[in-house]
Amino acid sequence: MAFTEPHLEELVVIPAALSSRSRTRYRGVLRTHVAAVCCGLLLSGAAVATAAAALADQAQAQVEERGRGTLVSAEKLYTLATPRAVAAELGAAGFEDDTVHYGVVAYRLVYRTVDPHGRPTTASGLLALPLNREGRLPAVSFAHGTGSHKNDSPSMRRGAFVSAPVIAHAAAGAVGVAPDYLGMGKGPGSHPWMDIGSETTASLDMLRAARAFAPRTGHVLEREVMVTGFSQGASAALGLGRALEAGADHWFRLGALAPVSGAYDFGGTWLSALLDGRLEPKSSVLYAAYTLVAFNRLHHVYDSPGEVFRAPYDSTVEALFDGAHTGEQLMRGTPGTLDELLTEHGRELLAHPTGPLAAALRTTGAVCTDWAPGAPVRLYMATGDEQAVTANTEHCRQALHNKGVDAPAVDLGAVDYQGSRHLGSNVAATSAIVRWFGELRRR
């Protein structure tokens, strides 16, 4: 059995970043290994693709330095052997099981990526694969919502709010791929919350790690990626979609985009709602604290906590966001109102950002305004969202419309999850997005 060069590159894309000499060596290594595997065997196209992709990692290691997206480790977390077991898993998290068709196996991947300053680091994420479905599979990237503890991430929790959407997509027949983000899961350091740049690189590099690992399970990831995310993850999803359409990866392409309940106009609509009482009061306190602490770590928003936080919180709030404190500890360690938390300067800084904070917020808020997606887009939201007011979604829809993009806003209604419409939107949107992505793939 012989391979022509176009056939080989259809199965395994030769990395565009390689020099001409390295690309030639890469092709030679692949041909040698694929011929050794396939010689004398009559393999199906899917089996050949799987064999070629599985050997690509070995070939690439001989011609490239280890870099972004390189797989560091893979750990099997659990197997949900039947659709019934998956349904029980989703039910435990409060999610519907109406799109379940396959059992699922879940892995934690640790991979190489970069921090907000471009320095090498590692991150982790959840990979969920459908059982009894072979060959090439579509990938769905899911970016999760805000958490403060390292365990508030998909690869660290089972049967939970943050992992259920990933399992749901895998149970429908796709490969569910979910970054934990920097500083979450098994990643070192603190989490750079709402930093679109590092959310994007962590998401993209998780996809690369998933592609490197998938052939070990007999699968190859298709080029088109369906991208979704909730709350914080809605902006992260837009960042990843923008990077994919800009050609940030030589293999993956954006297939569709479905963000849910995002704070897209972060420095405008969202901060205004936080300060004027449109957000639930305790949520306003937590988000105000997280905004100031997280953005200060990257952009030097204040010199000392006492400038923005009132006593006694000026000496305690920063430590609450170290990744080791639970959500319950965060709730107990913060006051019930913004007036108790913020100094006049702290409130003014959020109301009228200047300097480094203003610049950072412009970057965060550009996810809907500085590009025009070519792939299909739907924006999902819930009526009466108490954490991400729906004006954010209208802002994003209008910004994309101004760029010539039809991005309909799908109102999920007054959905509820543990008393929260914001959280309820993630539950309700998951089944809707699974179905929509499936429809797009069948076209």
Helical residues (DSSP H) of 143-270, grouped into ranges: 164-171, 196-213, 232-245
pLDDT band, residue 51 (cuts 50/70/90): low
Q: Answer yes or no: are the C-beta atoms of 311 and 352 closer than 8 Å.
A: no
> Which has the closest alpha carbon to 140: 151, 126, 153, 152?
126
Q: Give the residue among 63, 3, 71 at the shortest CA–CA distance from 31.
A: 3
| Spans of all domains in the chain | 5-63, 71-265+364-442
Residue 49 has pLDDT above 70, yes or no: no
Among 257, 258, 290, 256, which Cα is nearest to 271's?
290
pLDDT tens-digit readout, 331-369: 999 999 999 999 999 999 999 999 999 999 999 999 999
Res 317: pLDDT? 97
Pick the CATH number of 71-265+364-442 from 3.40.50.150, 3.90.950.10, 3.20.20.70, 3.40.50.1820: 3.40.50.1820
Confidence of residue 383 (pLDDT cuts 50, 70, 90): very high
| pLDDT tier at 134, thresholds 50, 70, 90 | confident
In this prediction, residue 6 has a pLDDT band, given cuts at 50, 70 and 90, of very low
Burial of 300 (0-12, 13-18, 19+ CB in 10 A): exposed
Whether 314 has a pLDDT exceeding 90, the answer reads yes
Q: Give the model's pLDDT for residue 38.
A: 38
pLDDT tens-place string over residues 260-273:
999 999 999 999 99
Ranges 47-56, 72-81, 208-217, 406-415: which has the least confidence: 47-56
pLDDT in tens, 83-104: 999 999 999 999 999 999 999 9
